[in-house]
Structures are given as structure tokens and as C-alpha cells.
Amino acid sequence: MLSHSLQYVVFVVMVFALYWAVHRHYWPRMLLLLTASLMVYVSFLQVPLLAFVGGMPPGALIVKLVPLFIFLAGVTVDHLLVKGMGRTERPGLRKLLVVLSIVSNLGLLAGFKYLELLRRTVSSLLGPWGVEVRPEPFHLLLPVGLSFFVFQAISYTVDVYRGKASSEHSFVEHLLYMLFFPRVVSGPIVRASELMAHFREVPTLSSDDGNKALFRIAVGLVKKLVIADVLGSGIVDPVFGSPHAYSSAECAVAAVAYTLELYYDFSGYSDIAIGVASLFGFKFPENFARPYLAKNLFEFWNRWHMSLSSWLRDYLYIPLGGNRRSKPRVCFNLMMVMVLGGLWHGADWRFAVWGAVHGVALCGVRCWWWFRGKQQEPGPVRVGLGMLATFTLVVLTRVVFRAPDMAHAGEFYARMLAGIPGLANVGPLMWSMLAIAIIAHAVPMKVYDLAALTFLKMPAPARAVVLVLLGLGIRQLSTLETRPYVYLQF
């Protein structure tokens, strides 16, 4: 049940109506949200609704639901460890419980997501020496959104240990924190103190907040269905699918288009998640802040997928020592964070390569600042060059993200650098969409704020007309098929 589909819109409307009918009563609203969240999660397991009333053989249904059972078991273990941590005053035991929680979560992630990568790697390394390694893949059923859930669980456990979150939450609250349907699979990553603390409060929703939420959802739908999907189907998919059939210039345009597609796809998802959460009285953190206007790579990572970047900073970079150690150690910390952050996106060494390139670039920027000093207010020329260099690095490294493997990425790079001119395959629609994507990203935020304020001040019938016209426009411009979110594969 993708959040840009008509089914999801109908689903949210129904849950919204039921939720605000029972919102004053704790257990009815919690059970409603948990039921809705489980329904959304199960939809990603591709289990037909009729399966629950006899439409699927019991054996097949159990296999389909194995990832859900694994997830529920993991949450149960984590909940028991967190509760135990909160009930003891013994520092040694508290530390042991937090270590067990982290190890169990990372072990679950490593076993289901990275075991196959380890098998292939060991096989490729030892095979030439005559050492036989298991030749068959493990075929493990990966729970949907496992990486995201593990990050949520670790942040909750560590925050309880640090005293930044309470352990006095019921299993239902813990489970809902992990599964809350507006951001069930891809975030934003919400800290326990930002969400669980509000479960027991009676929610409120003003007219202005509701209209702002609808506007935010509409913006997210435009980003996803109009900009991201049109760029993806119109130029990104064809060129990356057969780079040898296109000129160097067209490959370069496709690389830029994919960079824009990825931003509008994921930021559109985040806008919808933030808007839907607002409709139920919850506030999610922002996830993007016009990252392609960053003047350096550090600023880029402070603007891109901010909930993930802040997680890596707070739960990996700072515990490793952050900036407080020697210069070589700081560079080591940066490399560790970026390589592991790269592998988090997928069980493939190309993601580690992508992270390592960003790590080397970040170390380069840091060394430059150590050598020359960090300029607080750079001039316009330096700002422009910094933005261009940062964006170029991001575009070039994103090729590794989009390619199915390093060999394909190498083929794409070779074609892009071959110097073959020509842009015959880039039509007017693609040029227009690229221009819209760049302009929409570059305009000041106050323009969006003004548009939102104008929408709020409209009479209710006028707002309804705007939303209907917007829906018709999206239907006209967007692709006929419903394309899944790009980031779901990571």
C-alpha cells in the first residue's frame, strides 16, 4: 500500500475518521493506530486481504507472514531488555542489557541482510584457492524495512540508557513506535522521545494544522508522481538500462536526472509521511533541507536524509570519538561512518564503495579546513564553486547507486566520459521537467511558506477545488503505472 496510491488515500481517510471519533480514549485510539500500522506493513509483504479469510493455502500464508513473525519476535526481545534496563539500578547490568539489545538487533540485521553478501564474498575470495564454500544462496526471507527498524530500536535502547527516553512504555506503545504507519518502512527516523512520549497525550488538530498537513501531502504527491516518476520513466530508466545506446551527453543528463529523481522521490515520501502524521496529531522531524544547494559535503549531509544523518552522528560518529580525537582518528571515524552508512543502504559492496568515496571526500574537506581554516562567510565565487563541486561529486557517485553492479556502473562512466555528443533522445518534456526540478529546488523556502499561507486563507470550497484540480493535473502528467519509491530498495 504505497503512500502515493489511491488505496492509501482511501485508507488514511477511513482511519482518520475513526481515529478522531475515539481520540479521547487511550486504548481505542492506540489499538486503531496499531491495527492500521499492521495492515500497512502486511501490505508490503504482498499478502492479499482474502488470505485471511481462506483465499490462500495455510502453508503459503505462513511463509508470507514469516517476516512479520521475525519482526514481532525482535520487538518482543528488545522490549523485555529495555524494560529490564529501566528496572535496575546496577550500572553493570544496565550496560549489559543495552549491549545485548544492540547486539541482538545488529545480529538480526546481519543475519538476514548481509549473510548472503558474506557468502558470496568468501566464495569469490577462497574459490580460486580451491576452497569450496556453500554454493547455494541462503534464500532468507528479509523482513521489510529491517534496516530502518533496527535503527529505530537501537536509538530507543540507547536513549533509555542515556536517560533521554523513558522505559515505562507498554509493549503496545513500543510496537506502535516501531510500526507507526505514516513512516513504517523508510522514515523519517523518529526518536522515541519525539513520538512515544506523545502516545498517552490526548491528540489535538486545529483547522490550520489540518490544512497545512493537506498542503504538505499535496506537495509530496507532486514531487513523487509528477517530477520523480516522469524523470525516472522518461530518461533515467532507458539510459541506465542501455548506456551504450546513448551519447555521453545523454548519459550525463541521465545521471543528473537520477540525482533529482532520488531527491524528489524520497523527499516526496517524507512530505507525505510528515503530512499524514500531522493529521493524527503527531509531529515528525524534517528530513530534507534543499541538499543540492550545499556549499560543501558536510553541509550536504546535514541537509540530506537528516534523520539518518543525525542518527549516524549521535549513535556512531560521536561514540567513536567524533571530532574530539586526533586528526587521523577523526578521519578514521568519518570513513567508518560513511562506509557503514553506505552498507546500510544495501547488501552490496558497491554501496560500501559509494560510502568510502564520500568518506575520502569528507576527510579531504576536513584536512583543508585544518590547513587553511574554515572560512565563516565565503564570497559568492567560493560559494558557487563549492556548490558546483559538491553537486558534481553527488551526481557522479549516484551512478553507483543506480547501477545494478559495479561492472554496469563502470560501463556507464566509460560511456559518459567517451566524449560522444548529441542530445536527440532528450525531448521537450524531459527538459521542462529538469528545469522545473532545478527551479523548485532552488527557490527560497519562503515561497513555499507563502504558497501554504495562501492555501490556508482560501475558503474551504476553493481549497477543495484546488486539490481536485491538482489531482487531475497529477493524473495527466504522471506515468500511467504506479512506480514504487526508489528508496524502498535500500
Res 456 pLDDT > 70: yes
Burial class (CB within 10 angstroms; exposed 0-12, middle 13-18, buried 19+) of 201: exposed
- 245-269: average pLDDT: 95
**pLDDT band per the 50, 70, 90 thresholds, residue 176:** very high
Percent of the chain with pLDDT over 90: 50
- The tens digit of pLDDT for each residue in 320-334 reads 998 888 999 999 999
- Comparing 118 with 293, the larger pLDDT belongs to 293
- Does the structure show a pLDDT above 90 at 436? yes
- Give the N- to C-terminal CA distance of the chain in Å, as an integer: 18
DSSP per position, 161-203: HHTSS-S---HHHHHHHHH-GGGTTT-----HHHHGGGTTSPP
Task: Report the candidate in 228, 217, 218 with the shortest Cα–Cα distance to residue 436.
Answer: 228
Mean pLDDT, residues 374-382 = 78
Which residue from 191, 287, 194, 213 is spatially nearest to 16, judged by alpha carbons? 213
CB 34 within 8 A of CB 176: yes
Stretch 386-400: mean pLDDT: 95
Kindly state the greatest CA–CA separation across the chain: 76
**pLDDT (0 to 100) of residue 43:** 82
Closest-CA residue to 412 (of 428, 401, 421): 401
Decide which of 322 and 292 is more confident. 292
pLDDT in tens, 7-18: 888 899 999 999
Which residues are identified as catalytic?
345
**Residue 432 CB coordination number (10 Å):** 11
pLDDT of residue 353: 94
Q: So what's the pLDDT on residue 96?
A: 92
Whether 426 shows a pLDDT value over 90: the answer reads yes
Integer CA distances (angstroms), 476 to 226, 437, 470, in order: 9, 18, 10
pLDDT at residue 70 in the model: 80
Residue 180 in contact with residue 198, Cβ under 8 Å? no
Q: Is the pLDDT of residue 474 over 70?
A: no
Q: Which residues contact residue 284 at a Cβ distance below 8 angstroms, ignoring those fewer than 6 apart?
A: 182, 183, 188, 190, 194, 273, 274, 277, 278
pLDDT at residue 410 greater than cutoff 60: yes
- Residue 435: pLDDT above 90? yes
pLDDT interval class at 309 (50, 70, 90): very high
What the block records as the C-alpha cell of 32 is 486503531
The beta strands (E) that lie in 271-395 are given as none
The percent of residues in the chain predicted with pLDDT above 70, rounded, is 92
Q: Would you state the pLDDT for residue 249? A: 96
Comparing 243-247, 305-309, 321-325, 475-479, the range with the smallest average pLDDT is 475-479
State the Cα–Cα distance between residues 270 and 300, nearest whole angstrom.
17
Prior bond of 188 cis (ω within 30°): yes
Q: Which three cell numbers stand for residue 392?
A: 558534481
**What's the confidence (pLDDT) of residue 21?**
96
pLDDT at 194 over 90: no
| Mean of per-residue pLDDT scores for the chain | 87
192 pLDDT exceeds 90?
no
**Judging by beta carbons within 10 Å of its beta carbon (0-12, 13-18, 19+), is residue 16 exposed, middle or buried?**
middle
Most confident of 184-193, 250-259, 367-376, 377-386: 250-259
Q: What is the pLDDT of residues 206-234, one digit of tens each?
A: 988 998 998 899 899 889 988 999 999 99
Q: How many helices (H) and strands (E) does the chain have?
A: 22, 0
What residue type is assigned to position 39 of the chain? M
Residues 44-100 have pLDDT tens digits of 776 665 555 555 666 666 666 777 788 888 888 888 898 888 888 888 888 999 999
Q: Does the pLDDT at position 480 exceed 80?
A: no
More confident residue, 72 or 408: 408
Decide if 435 contacts 262 (C-beta within 8 A). Answer: no
75 within 8 A of 178, measured Cβ to Cβ: yes
Give the residue among 306, 221, 296, 215 at the shortest CA–CA distance from 264: 221
pLDDT reported for residue 467: 75
Q: Residue 399 pLDDT more than 90?
A: yes
Query: What global pTM score does this model have?
Result: 0.90
Would you say residue 336 has pLDDT above 90?
yes
Q: Which of the two residues, 56 and 115, has the higher pLDDT score?
A: 115
> Average pLDDT, stretch 420-439?
93
Give the confidence band of 132 by pLDDT, cuts at 50, 70, 90. confident
Mean per-residue pLDDT, 432-446: 92
What is the pLDDT, as a whole number, of residue 472?
66
What pLDDT is attached to residue 1? Answer: 74
Q: What average pLDDT does the segment 181-189 reach?
A: 81
